[in-house]
Amino acid sequence: MSATVKKAGFGATLWEYLTTVDHKKIGILYLVAGMFFFILGGLEAMLIRIQLIKPDNDFISAQFYNEVLTMHGTTMIFLAAMPLIFALMNAVVPLQIGARDVAFPFVNSLGFWLFFFGGVMLNVSWFVTGAPDAGWTAYAPLSIFSEGHGVDFYAIGLQISGFGTLMGGINFIVTIVNMRAPGMTYMRMPLFTWTAFIASVLILFAFPALTVGLFLLTFDRLFGANFFDPSMGGNVIIWEHLFWIFGHPEVYILILPAFGVFSEVVPTFAKKRLFGYSSMVFATVLIAFLGFMVWAHHMFTVGLGPIANSIFAVATMAIAVPTGIKIFNWLFTLWGGSIRLTSPMVFALGFIPTFTIGGMTGVMLGSAAADFQYHDSYFVVAHFHYVIVGGVVLGLFAGIIYWWPKMFGTMLNEKLNHWFFWLFFIGFHLTFFVQHFLGLMGMPRRYWIFLEDQGLDFFNLISTIGAFFMAAGTILFLYNVVVTQAKGVKVSGDPWDARTLEWAIPSPPPFYNFKQEPLVRGLDPLWIEKTEGDGKIKPAEPLGDIHMPNNSFVPFMMSLGLFIAGFGVMFQGSYWILAVIGFAITAGSMLYRSFKDDLGYHVHKEDLEDEKGDGSNG
Amino acid sequence: MMKGWMSKFKAVFALVVLALVLSGCGEPFLSALQPKGEGAEMIYDLMILSIVIMLFVFVVVIVIYTFVIIKYRQKKQDPDFIPKQTEGNHALETLWTVIPIILLLILAVPTVQYTFALADTSPEVNEEGEEQDSLWVNVTGAQYWWHFEYDGLEVSTSQELYIPTDRRVYLSMSSQDVIHSFWVPSINGKMDVNPTGNTNEMTLLAQEEGVYWGKCAELCGPSHSIMDFKVVAVSPGEFEEWVQDMQQVTGEETPESATAQEGQELFADNCMSCHAIGADPNKIGPNLTNFGDRTKLAGVVDYNKENLVEWIQTKGEEMKPGNHMMDAGYELEDEEAEKIAEYLMGLSPSDITTENAEDSVYKDSDLSSLFPEEEEEEGEQSEDEEDGEESDEEGSSEDEENDEE
Amino acid sequence: MADDMLKSTNLPQNPERATLEGRNKFMGFWFFLGGETVLFASLFGTYLALKNSTVDGPAANEIFGLELVFLMTIILLTSSLTSVYAMYHMKNNDPKKMQLWLGITVALGLAFLGLEIYEFYHYVHGYHFGYTTSAFSSAFYTLVGFHGAHVAFGLGWIISLMVRNAKRGINLYNAPKFYIASLYWHFIDVVWVFIFTVVYLMGKVG
């Protein structure tokens, strides 16, 4: 039982994390795993940039290069950005809405372990027959013809981790709908919670398309199906549709929570209420809605014809409107404020011009006719890195630094954070700004080498130099983390002088979050209490017993079972036994879960009164 | 559609500066920023229009951004200052919703227009309003080379596509393995080359003679980055000559030197099952009819005998990783490979080559020799698209093409 | 409170939604079904794109026999109805009758699955219409097979619930579990109606 918080040994801590259903601990698990994969993906990026430092380079082989670029994209999207977003959602959303936990703590844990084992599975491919080599988009029929088991690892690994993501999404939808504290109406929810909510809805409706796509790919490769085999009547364009019906909303799944982070950070450090709150909410919903209607802008050159291309072009451009609304709302939140340049704020401020450029090139790409030049060139590479690094990654770091005290009770070194920002930010623009031009100068993406005398040398060199700056910045951040945690200086519950509910409780919060359910009196509840009350959140209920869920090892076992089964399905023959064992473990775990009542336990009123951490610590 | 703002001096100035900056980018034979063809030029205009609109937005954002950061920093003397907690401002919010919509509409109109224009594969109309015959080329993408078959002309080439300048060339494209993408940035945007069943069409119109580089723009395997090809644009008259020269080739011609003759025999014994010389439809491997005129070996390697022998002997293992020639079963002595190389490098049926593509000689022609009387067949292919307006215009003079269907 | 969860007396009107856990499950499951809808929509889309890609294999109207499929449809629709009865008795706190009707639902589900297996067997052996025959065959077996797998999973689920709760009554803890299992069963039924229409009727006629 996790109730007893003592200094535990390593074994006990490990067991606690393997079995935890506490959203705060799951958030930490997501953070650690996500950072690990982020570093892995970063190393892959460095290999790419070193290979492209000069023309005709032979640093790595063509085949290996394709594996690296595939794994870089796959890792960064599915195994770094997604889990880091889930890390923040887990760490913050229940606290922001005044809940004691998420709606489905067990499923929450299952979601993490599925993601984790899926990610491990993908990376096992490096050591078994080679990694997937058909790009993160895995276009058929290249992905069908790809030799070895690389693409099988891609299909099965992503399938497993995708299940986890889907569960996480449903969990957060229900949490936000059902578990809000008294007074926390929809239009009082912090923007981060709003964006987490909308992103979860997107996950719910986008991921099943990927699930189907991956199943078809798996069946084609492993069981002789003919979905993508033209000689048997298959059609390769089906994959592109399924992939992008998932893939485009995926971009918004990533960016919306980052927008949410900025919408928390900017008001806090401008000491001002978010400008145009309701239009921000509206813009978020509109972006999500439009996000489902524009997938074919990734397919302008496929030959869908001018009618389809025009419709999707105009729909794509329309997304710029709500995005623009957001940018201006942030600017006008700053307007008239009292701006503190703390490191999360610096990340937020770095984001605004960067993302504006990314959005601008997005509109340019949306112009279907012009896209015939941009498509699959380095211009696109530049664009989506401006959006995903300049938007998502800056947002994630802003969020991680901002909520670090809430997650760990310590404060990252501000000076190092600023250094990290500048190295990363300058490196980023060096790396990717010139890539716009490389694309227009005739360099397609996913190129293992570029030739001499084509005018591409200089910008490629600049780009590689920039990548080293980014790497240096990231290393500095890791150093900062290690040093900060080693020192372990504790901070108060509200070190940033912030506005939302999560800052009303101690850092890190007690495992039950709120001793008494908080009463929310408006948007930015803590700010309201600070300016109009005594700075303490009012309780909505008398002190009473708190019901908490039990820890469980079952999610780990269920995920492990699928992981093992994946190998059986992949290698077949005598390895089928692995599939049998794996599915048996999963099914057995599910039965165990069904047959053993899990009613949770209660923290008693008397114990709560003894504990010092009072729910409304300032 | 650009006339409204073109008149304004500042805009023109900005445009000129922008265009100068951009055109400094890249090499003229490869860069989309130095358009040399009809499609590339249209797209370039659109690009400039969108950049101008976007720069306007960017400047507005940056001005406000810089202002607020400087003006509204926390004051040292008054750290406890609490700003007014503004909820929003309807007028402002409406403003920054409406203005972007207008800007996007300005961009959307030409976008749609150009999207349709670029997809248009109806026949060209000459000054007299007559529909001209269309030159169709069947393009086949393969790992990792390109095949070009001139429809109805009994001419095939690989890797180097010869086209006449100032005339649209119509491409009908498909792949024999994975998806590729056909891209000649200085002439037109790209179009995917899909496996069977999804044939795509596009046009090329080069405005200047020259050799333009083409790239594969869709990941297609290890050698994706070296699946280069060339588009050789020559004047229409020269193109006609080239076609006639190519049509003469049967593959039976006896080369001059004795070594090359031996090479020819060796080639026939070892290579002909995949490679063709002349208009043979065989396209398992690249067509080698005018191999002697190539500028690059396999699209990217320096063209010389040493490299060619190395290619033959290693089957391109290093030069083009993952290429399908590695599956070929032949085994040759080094001398034999040299003889074949000698033979291949002598295959130069025409005086019109990449070497002299850019010479100053311009021979005009309406290409009529390429379309002898049986033009109905040619016309049909492009007829069924939407060409209502053209056929209306010339309906009085020539409508015999339409009436049989 | 934990004991209250397992008490079978004094149940409220809607025991499946009486607790926060129950409400969460109820809502979460509806959202899950939303995701499942996208899953089947994608499979339907794929099927429609490939339904004429028969290559050398048999086409839809050559193999489908509507009699059998119609019978399967009736069986599955009926099982949906019997699961409604089961839920009715659950709300009346009558576990015996609930178990009985669930038992009938399971029996009908098994009959459906048996007929589907027979149907597939018949296609493979009677018409040489295997999974790898053509793009059409792959799409057909994948779509209908996914549905069949859902039926099988649903059966396993309901049977586990019946066995687990065989010796105890309905309570606030297991009521939501029964309820969402029946929701799932209805969903499977709805999907089958679409399969019957899009695959079989349109395959035979269109």
Cα angle B51-B54-B55, degrees, rounded to a multiple of 5: 80
Number of helices followed by number of strands (H, E) in chain C:
8, 0
Residues in chain C closer than 8 A to A595 (CB atoms):
160, 164
A189: closest CA of chain C, how far (Å) = 19
User: Does B360 touch chain A if contact means CB atoms closer than 8 Å?
Assistant: no
Structure confidence at residue A616 as a pLDDT band (50, 70, 90): very low
Nearest in space to A463 (alpha carbons), one of A486, A437, A481: A437
Measured at the CA of B58, the angle between CA B105 and CA A390, to 5 degrees, comes to 110
Average pLDDT rounded to a whole number, residues B272-276: 90
Name the H helices within B271-387. Answer: 305-314, 334-345, 375-383
pLDDT value at position B355? 82
Confidence grade of residue B8 (pLDDT, cut at 50, 70, 90): low
Which of B42, B76, B95, B178 to mutate to probe the A interface, most A CBs <10 Å?
B178
B95-101: long-range contacts, CB 8 A cutoff, minimum separation 24: B96/A324, B96/A325, B96/A328, B97/A321, B97/A324, B97/A325, B100/A320, B100/A321, B100/A324, B100/B57, B101/A321
**Which pLDDT score, from 0 to 100, does residue A7 have?**
60
Where does CATH 2.60.40.420 sit in chain B? Answer: 130-368
Checking if the pLDDT of B134 tops 60, the result is yes
Provide the greatest CA pair distance for chain C: 65
Residue C115: its pLDDT value, please? 96
C46 and A242 within 8 Å at the Cβ level: the answer is yes
> Looking at CA atoms only, how far is residue B150 from chain A in angstroms?
22
Mean model confidence pLDDT for chain B? 85
- Interface ipTM: 0.95
pLDDT at B384: 44
DSSP A105: H
Mean per-residue pLDDT for A187-191?
A: 96
Q: Where are the alpha helices (DSSP H) in A388-456?
A: 394-408, 414-440
Higher-pLDDT residue of C188 and A610 is C188
CA of C134, closest CA in chain A: separation in Å?
Answer: 5
Contacts of C42 in chain A (CB under 8 A): 208-209, 211-213, 242, 245
Residue B128 phi, psi (nearest 5): -80, 5
Instruction: With CA atoms as reference, report the closest residue to B254 among B328, B329, B343, B355.
Output: B343
Q: Quick check: B404 pLDDT over 90?
A: no
Which member of A440, A444, A455 has the closest CB to residue B183?
Answer: A444
pLDDT of C206: 66
Domains of chain A, with CATH numbers?
10-552+598-610 (1.20.210.10)
User: pLDDT over 90 for what percent of chain A?
Assistant: 92
Touching C (3+ Cβ pairs <8 A), the chains are A
The mean per-residue pLDDT over the stretch B376-402 comes to 42
Q: Taking residues B83-102, report their average pLDDT.
A: 92
The tokens describing C95, both together, are: 């576990």
Distance CA A382, CA C51 (A): 40
Residue keyed to tokens 């530049």: A382
- Strand, coil or helix: what is A539? strand
- Mean pLDDT throughout B113-132? 89
pLDDT digits (tens, 9 = 90+) for B137-186: 999 999 999 999 999 899 999 999 999 999 999 999 999 999 999 999 99
Alpha-carbon torsion (B257, B258, B264, B267), positive or negative:
negative
CB contact under 8 A, A602 and C134: no
Mean pLDDT of chain C: 93
Query: pLDDT at residue B325 above 80?
Result: yes
% of chain C beyond a pLDDT of 70: 98
Task: Please answer whether residues C16 and C179 qualify as being in contact, where contact means their C-beta atoms are separated by less than 8 angstroms.
Answer: yes
The Cα–Cα gap between B218 and B191 comes to 10
Q: How far is B113 from chain A (nearest CA, A)?
A: 9
Give the gap in angstroms from C-alpha A223 to the nearest C-alpha of chain C.
8
Which of B46, B87, B178 lies closest to A142 in CB terms? B178
The answer to whether the beta carbons of residues A166 and A106 sit under 8 Å apart is no
Burial class (CB in 10 A: 0-12, 13-18, 19+), C14: middle
Are the CB atoms for C141 and C133 separated by under 8 Å?
no
| pLDDT(B398) > 60 | no
- B57 and A63 in contact by Cβ < 8 A? no
**C-alpha to C-alpha distance for A227 and A236, rounded to whole angstroms:** 7
Closest-CA residue in chain B for A437?
A: B25
Quick check: C3 pLDDT over 70? no
Taking an 8 Å cut-off on Cβ atoms, the answer to whether C161 and A171 are in contact is no
Task: Provide the pLDDT confidence category of residue A548 given band limits of 50, 70 and 90.
Answer: very high
CB atoms within 10 A of CB A124: 16
| Tokens of residue A129, six digits | 């027959």
How close does chain B come to A115, measured CA to CA in Å? Answer: 27
Q: What is the DSSP letter of A545?
A: -
Find the mean pLDDT for residues C150-159: 96
pLDDT class for B374, splitting at 50, 70, 90? low
**pLDDT band at B389, cuts 50/70/90?**
very low
Residue corresponding to tokens 């007690």: A510
SS3 (DSSP) at A410: strand
The predicted pLDDT at position A324 comes to: 95
Cβ atoms within 10 Å, residue A19: 17
A-C interface: how many C-beta pairs under 8 angstroms?
Answer: 124
Whether residues B215 and A449 touch (CB distance < 8 A) is answered with no
For residue B191, the tally of other CB atoms under 10 A from its CB is: 26
Structure tokens at B320: 């083009």
Mutation target for A interface from B85, B105, B144: give the one with most A CBs within 10 A: B85
CATH 2.60.40.420, applies to B130-368: yes
> B131 CA to chain A: closest CA distance, Å?
23
A198 SS3 class:
helix
Q: How far is CA C137 from CA A215, A228, A231, A569, C133, in A?
A: 15, 13, 14, 21, 6
Residue B32's contacts (CB-CB under 8 Å, 6 or more residues apart) are A373, A440, A441, A442, B26, B40, B43, B44, B47, B185, B186, B189
Contact state of B54 with A369 under an 8 Å Cβ cutoff: no
In this complex, which of B42, B96, B220 lies closest to A328 when CB atoms are compared? B96
DSSP A229-297: -GGGT--THHHHHHHHHHHHHHHHHHHHHHHHHHHHHHHHHHTSPPTTHHHHHHHHHHHHHHHTS-GGG
Q: Is B69 on the interface with A (CB under 8 A)?
A: yes
Do you know the residue count of chain A? 618
Which residues on chain A are in Cβ contact (under 8 Å) with B50? 363-364, 367, 370
Give me the residue from B27, B64, B183 closest to A455, CB to CB. Answer: B27
How far does the CA of residue A170 sit from the closest CA of chain B (Å)?
32
pLDDT band, residue A87 (cuts 50/70/90): very high
B194 secondary structure, DSSP code: -
Task: Please report the pLDDT score of residue B254 as a whole number.
Answer: 86
Amino acid at A593: R
Q: What's residue B380's pLDDT?
A: 44
pLDDT at B130: 84
- Per residue in C98-116, pLDDT (tens digit) is 999 999 999 999 999 999 9
Contacts of A399 (CB under 8 A, 6+ apart): A88, A92, A192, A258, A261, A264, A265, A344
Q: Which residue of A62, A277, A364 is in closest CB contact with B54?
A: A364
Find which of B60, B115, B175, B204 to mutate to test the A interface (most A CBs within 10 Å of its CB): B115
pLDDT tens column, B41-62:
999 999 999 999 999 999 999 9
The span from the CA of A26 to the CA of C133, in Å, is 46
Strand partners, A190: none
Give DSSP secondary structure letters for A354-397.
Answer: HHHHHHHHHHHHHSHHHHHHHTTBHHHHHHHHHHIIIIIIHHHH
Mean predicted confidence (pLDDT) in B90-109: 94
Residue of A nearest to B214 (CA): A442
Pairing of strands B135-142, B145-150: antiparallel
State the pLDDT at residue B362.
Answer: 86
Sign (positive/negative) of CA torsion A350, A353, A356, A360? negative
Contact B213 A324 (CB under 8 A): no
Report the candidate in A487, A483, A503, A486 with the shortest Cα–Cα distance to residue A495. A503
Architecture, CATH, for domain C26-205: Up-down Bundle (1.20)
**Which of A170, A232, A591 lies at the smallest CB-CB distance from C28?**
A170
A217 min Cα distance to partner chain C (Å): 12
Which of the pair, B118 or B281, is modelled with greater confidence? B118
On chain C, the residues whose CB falls within 8 A of the CB of A602 are 1-2
- Give the pLDDT mean for A470-486: 96
Among chain C residues, CA nearest to A601 = C2
Residue A508 has pLDDT above 50, yes or no: yes
| Chain C CB contacts of A584 below 8 Å | none
The answer to whether B211 touches B354, Cβ cutoff 8 Å, is: yes
Chains with 3 or more CB pairs under 8 A to chain B: A
B47–A370 C-beta distance less than 8 A: yes
| Domain boundaries, given as residue ranges, for chain C | 26-205
CB atoms A595 and C135 under 8 Å? no
